[in-house]
Amino acid sequence: MTNLVVHGTSKTRQFRDTIQAASSFAQRNQLPARLQEQMLSHLCLKFRTDSEGLQQQETLDSLPKAIRSSISHFLFYSLVDKVYLFRGVSNDLLFQLVSEMKAEYFPPKEDVILQNEAPTEFYILVTGAVELLVLKNGVEQVVGEAKTGDICGEIGVLCYRPQLFTVRTKRLCQLLRLNRTTFLNIVQANIGDGTIIMNNLLQHLKDLRDPIMEGVLLETENMLARGRMDLPLTLCFAALRGDDLLLHHLLKRALDPNESDNNGRTALHIAASKGNEHCVLLLLEFGADANSRDSEGSVPLWEAMLGNHKSVIKLLVDNGAKITTGDVGLFSCIAAEQNNLELLKEIVHQGGEVTRPKNNGSMALHVAVCEGNIEIVKFLLDQGASLEIGDENGWTAKELAEQQGHEAIKELFDSYKGTKNETAVSIPEERHGVRFLGRFKSEPRILPVNQDSVFPPSEGLWGTSRPRRRTNNFYNSLFGIMSAAQNGENSSLLPIDNATSAGAASRIYATRVTVSCPEKGDSAGKLVLLPSSFQELLELGAKKYGFFPAKVLTKDGADIEDIELIRDGDHLVFVSDNRDYVTE
């Protein structure tokens, strides 16, 4: 006990001596009262953290690096992940950044960053609040405030210019500090993330709509064009911005003109999709491959054709670009799904075979039938499309037309010279729930359901792993009863023979849902098959409406978070991140 008292007394005496020394220093140098208060507040806070065992950073520094990184990840990863500057970067980069950040406490009314000082560090606010001040005509003015999760000093660090604001705490704050040199060293090893960070900064400056920030944005863009930024920049970044000056500067640095992003897309893919003739010409002059394929089989010529950029198409063709080097079957299916006959004709004009299937076996003809576009169907038949080839699930174009009731297309098939009379229709034994490009597709024949087959015995099926249950209300609908009667089949309300019952029990019918997007003017929606996963459902929304949905809602506005919650006949609504769906 005596030792504890002596130890406590010694620390108190040391604190008193430190305060006296600081006060003498301030008086001797005639420091302003505000600076004296900041000095004393900081020393008092340090004494409190030492005496109360709150030396967080000192404790972390005494541990091995692996343990420090794990603790920092647990405490701060979720906070840093939400900072606008790091939106969309890789988990690896975030983990490395969090491991190098230092947590510090600041008392109220203390300056964290001074206006016009060198940009050596930036800070992320963990707790508390800070004010942003500028000095005008010798008077400090508050121009903003930062709260938990905000970042300060990043503009000076990234653009390497004097700090724009003085950052001063309003109350006790905890901040994460990261050194500029350490930050740039980490980003240098993650070039793709560096371009994402720079894009986030430029977009943030635009969104602020502040006269000061507009000047900073203009100066930053000029620095980018001159290649004076310390962040590693890629050709894809320059092509995405349409900045031919920056692109030319990077190419003169001997960067690989065929470098690609994580999806295999090169700068030429991006420039062609945006119709930027200058960027395309620069890349071709520096040796970019005009027939490079990305991970989905797309080539630059197809990107230009999708955007109907005539001048870029001609430029690529003149430099040896060929549509046949890409997945022509995929291109044809996309054109058919978009009901774009002119795009299909352009594919043919460039030497592509629109009758070729894509990787999963589907052809443009199957998609055109599902879309009910008789003009495209006729065009594809004229190009030699076969009626006997099945899609990824074995359904032929004629079966799809019969199932979906496209009478005009059925008559076209019957009158077409290449059509053969088919007396029997075979149905594959196994049909998996695969995401489709077209509208709703299901069994071409409608079979009645035996009540005994709906609930199988407990032994066997329930004892093993089984796929998600998919409900089927089709046979209870008026259309189902009429279709069964027209085909001469027994009513599903009456007993049927065991063979038919066994056949019906062995089939799994896909769930049908209606998807819509009021933001894009589609409130009525389209009938589609429910994909097998929630991610595929989001991808379906992105392909249908041109953006990746942030939410999937029910017709009543309820948020859907799992594919298991969706049932046959549901109406799903895709919404973006900044819009809320309102029930009509």
**Per the domain annotation, does 499 fall within a domain?**
no
Give the tens place of pLDDT for each residue, 139-164. 889 988 999 999 999 988 888 788 88
60 contacts: CB under 8 Å, gap ≥ 6: 68, 71, 72, 103
**Per the domain annotation, does 457 fall within a domain?**
no
- Asked if residue 410 and residue 290 are part of one domain, the reply reads no
Task: Compute the C-alpha angle 426/428/433, nearest 5°.
Answer: 140
129 has pLDDT over 90: yes
Cα separation of 342 and 335, whole Å? 9
Q: Which of 203, 258, 270, 193 lies closest to 231, judged by CA?
A: 193
Share above pLDDT 70 across residues of the chain, in percent, rounded to a whole number: 76
- Asked if residue 562 and residue 516 are part of one domain, the reply reads yes
Q: What is the mean pLDDT of residues 438-466?
A: 40
Amino acid 578: pLDDT: 57
Residue owning tokens 């980003």: 187
- Asked if residue 199 and residue 71 are part of one domain, the reply reads yes
**Per the domain annotation, does 229 fall within a domain?**
no
Amino acid 304: pLDDT: 94
Which parts of 170-315 are beta strand (E)? 173-179
- From residue 512, how far is each of 112, 444, 446, 529, 532 by CA, in Å? 58, 15, 15, 5, 12
Residue owning tokens 């911005």: 241
Amino acid 482: pLDDT: 53
Cα separation of 524 and 504, whole Å? 32
Q: What rounded mean pLDDT belongs to the chain?
A: 78
- Asked if residue 355 and residue 262 are part of one domain, the reply reads no
Boundaries of domain holding 571 = 512-575
Amino acid 178: pLDDT: 93
CATH of the domain at 536: 3.10.20.10
Give the tens place of pLDDT for each residue, 397-429. 888 888 888 888 888 888 875 444 443 334 344
**Per the domain annotation, does 173 fall within a domain?**
yes
CATH of the domain at 246: 1.25.40.20
Highest mean pLDDT among 60-69, 437-446, 460-469, 478-487: 60-69
461 has pLDDT over 60: no
Task: Work out the pLDDT band at 58, boundaries 50, 70, 90.
Answer: low
Task: Work out the pLDDT band at 51, boundaries 50, 70, 90.
Answer: low
Cα separation of 209 and 212, whole Å? 9
Q: What is the mean pLDDT of residues 241-270?
A: 87
Amino acid 37: pLDDT: 75
- Asked if residue 76 and residue 46 are part of one domain, the reply reads no
Which comes out higher in pLDDT, residue 470 or 311?
Answer: 311
* Amino acid in position 519: E
Task: Work out the pLDDT band at 10, boundaries 50, 70, 90.
Answer: low
Cα separation of 280 and 192, whole Å? 21
Q: What is the mean pLDDT of residues 50-57?
A: 55
Cα separation of 581 and 41, whole Å? 50
Amino acid 429: pLDDT: 42
- Asked if residue 140 and residue 202 are part of one domain, the reply reads yes
Give the tens place of pLDDT for each residue, 486-495. 555 444 444 4
- Asked if residue 339 and residue 320 are part of one domain, the reply reads no
**Per the domain annotation, does 439 fall within a domain?**
no
Amino acid 123: pLDDT: 95
Task: Work out the pLDDT band at 224, boundaries 50, 70, 90.
Answer: confident
- Asked if residue 1 and residue 136 are part of one domain, the reply reads no
Amino acid 188: pLDDT: 82
pTM: 0.53
Q: What is the mean pLDDT of residues 462-466?
A: 36
Task: Work out the pLDDT band at 133, boundaries 50, 70, 90.
Answer: very high
DSSP-based three-state secondary structure for 515: strand
What secondary structure does DSSP assign to 509-559, as a single string? PPPEEEEEEGGGTEEEEEEEEPPSSHHHHHHHHHHHHSS--SEEEETT-PE
- Asked if residue 392 and residue 271 are part of one domain, the reply reads no
DSSP-based three-state secondary structure for 241: helix
**Per the domain annotation, does 554 fall within a domain?**
yes
Q: What is the mean pLDDT of residues 17-38?
A: 76
DSSP-based three-state secondary structure for 29: coil
470 has pLDDT over 60: no
Amino acid 504: pLDDT: 40
**Per the domain annotation, does 450 fall within a domain?**
no
Amino acid 447: pLDDT: 41
Decide which of 219, 251, 271 is a domain's last residue.
219
Cα separation of 89 and 409, whole Å? 48
Decide which of 351, 386, 416 is a domain's last residue.
416
Please give the tally of structural domains in the chain: 5
Counts of helices then strands in the chain (DSSP H, E): 25, 13
Amino acid 561: pLDDT: 84
Decide which of 388, 416, 444 is a domain's last residue.
416
- Asked if residue 113 and residue 45 are part of one domain, the reply reads no
Amino acid 238: pLDDT: 85
**Per the domain annotation, does 369 fall within a domain?**
yes
Rg over CA atoms, the chain: 33
436 has pLDDT over 60: no
Amino acid 580: pLDDT: 53
Which comes out higher in pLDDT, residue 261 or 338?
Answer: 338
Contact 91, 192 (CB under 8 A): no
Q: Which of 357, 338, 433 lies closest to 396, judged by CA?
A: 357
Displacement of CA 4 from its chain's centroid (Å): 58
Contact 536, 528 (CB under 8 A): no
Which parts of 389-545 are beta strand (E)? 512-517, 522-529
- Asked if residue 331 and residue 252 are part of one domain, the reply reads no
DSSP-based three-state secondary structure for 1: coil
Give the tens place of pLDDT for each residue, 352-397. 999 999 888 889 999 999 999 999 999 999 998 888 888 888 888 8
CATH of the domain at 165: 2.60.120.10
Give the tens place of pLDDT for each residue, 67-126. 888 888 998 999 999 999 999 899 999 999 999 998 888 888 889 999 989 889 999 999
- Asked if residue 337 and residue 276 are part of one domain, the reply reads no
Q: What is the mean pLDDT of residues 199-225?
A: 83
Amino acid 380: pLDDT: 93
